[in-house]
Every structure is written in structure tokens, then in C-alpha cells.
Amino acid sequence: DQQVKQNSPSLSVQEGRISILNCDYTNSMFDYFLWYKKYPAEGPTFLISISSIKDKNEDGRFTVFLNKSAKHLSLHIVPSQPGDSAVYFCAASARQGAQKLVFGQGTRLTINP
Amino acid sequence: NAGVMQNPRHLVRRRGQEARLRCSPMKGHSHVYWYRQLPEEGLKFMVYLQKENIIDESGMPKERFSAEFPKEGPSILRIQQVVRGDSAAYFCASSPVAGTLNEQFFGPGTRLTVL
């Protein structure tokens, strides 16, 4: 049962353009969402998060949008840079109970010069 | 401030041997989480520990796997009698306080290969 889904295994974007990564979830108990970036042979690095009481959070080039009614969130990166090429994971958690993060399968983003 | 440390980075074991993976959380963090990543998949939660306590082990296989976080020293994930299906990347994460924002900081991982 995949509670967090990233339906695009890969995405290719031109340098300087906007990258949009999508994530869907099924568990209505999730109320905190995070995006992590991962390079090969390294651990995931936290990028940005959003609480369910918000619908948008922005940090520099990164913006996360949350649509609770659709159970959908997206990460926008603008402008995209070559160093953004990595695998991006969406993760979710519920404040109550366990602190575990539930991860999506990841989207491999490639920024082309 | 050093990040989350894991060792070894790479571990090779033959079937039937034991694997011990170590994790030192970030300074000031008392909550440790272990995740496993199989090839081409996302990270899957295994266990959540605080000092000397297992809080949630719902993701741990019932047999052969165990975890501890002693009062002194690193957290240990132990896999007994390893099988080929245990080959994966094992990531440890830590956080300072539970029950608030659930940002977790990850270590570089231990890549376990079972021959």
C-alpha cells in the first residue's frame, strides 16, 4: 500500500526553466510534508517542508504547494540549475503517533545545460 | 557541528553472517530513526528509538533484525543470519525533539551487500 506516490520516475528540464515535481498521498492523517534531495551514494538532504495549515511555503528558489482537498503537493524549483540534478523524495508524517516519515519512490531530476 | 555519522559506509557479508550498522546522531539529538532503501525504491521506515527505548518498530522484520540506542554510544542496527534480500542501503536519521516539526537529518548510509 503506497501511501505516498511520485508518479514520475524521471524529469528533464532545461537550465533556467522551472522544474515541477509532483507528489500524491492517500492518508488523510498526514499533516506535515517534506521534500528531500538525494545525490548518489549520499543520504537525503532536507530541502523544504510544509504543514497542513498552509498551502504554500517558499525558501529561495524552492516553493512547495499543498492542495489538501486533492491530497497533492508539488515542489517548484525556479530557476533550475545543473546542481539541482538529483533524486527528489516527497515524504509525509502524521503528528499524532509515530514520528516515522513515509516516502514516495522518488523522481530523478536532470537539468540540461 | 558534525552531522549524522554512520559506519561502516560499505559492508559485505556472506549469507548467514551477522551485520552490525552503527549510527551516531547529530549533537543534541536524542531521537534516532532507521530506514532501508532497496534499489530503485524510496526509503522505508524500520524503527524509531530514543535513548534506551524503542518507540516504534512497526517497520522492522519480525525475525533477524534488532535495534538499540544505548545510554552511551551509537545506535546499532543488527541483522542476524543475513540473506541476499537484505542487500540495501540503510540510512539513519536523527531529530532533536519529537512531537513538533518532523524534520529528520540523515546520515550518508551504509550499503550492505550480501554475497
Residue A2's pLDDT is 80
CA–CA gap between residue B91 and residue B104 (Å, rounded) = 11
Report chain A's terminal Cα–Cα distance, integer Å: 38
Q: Taking CA atoms, what residue in A is nearest to B97?
A: A99
Quick one: average pLDDT of A36-54? 93
Residue bearing the bigger pLDDT, A53 or A1: A53
For residue B41, the model assigns a pLDDT of 84
Q: Do you find a cis peptide bond into B61, omega within 30 degrees of 0?
A: no
- Chain B residues within 8 A of A40 when measuring between CB atoms: none
Chain A contact for B96 (CB, 8 A cutoff): no
Q: Is the pLDDT of residue B95 over 60?
A: yes
C-alpha pair distances (Å), A74 with each of A7, A49, A111: 12, 11, 18
B108 touches chain A (CB under 8 A): yes
Candidate from A43, A99, A101 with C-beta closest to B98: A99
Mean pLDDT of A84-93: 95
Least confident of A1-5, A78-82, B45-49: A1-5
pLDDT in tens, B55-90: 999 999 999 999 999 989 999 999 999 999 999 999
* pLDDT higher than threshold 90 for residue A9: yes
Residue whose C-alpha cell is 516516502? A103
Query: Smallest Cβ distance to B48: which of A34, A89, A99?
Result: A99
Mean pLDDT for the stretch of residues A42-59: 94
Q: Does B45 contact chain A (CB < 8 Å)?
A: yes
Mean pLDDT of chain B: 92
CA distance A109 to chain B (A): 14
pLDDT on residue A97: 46
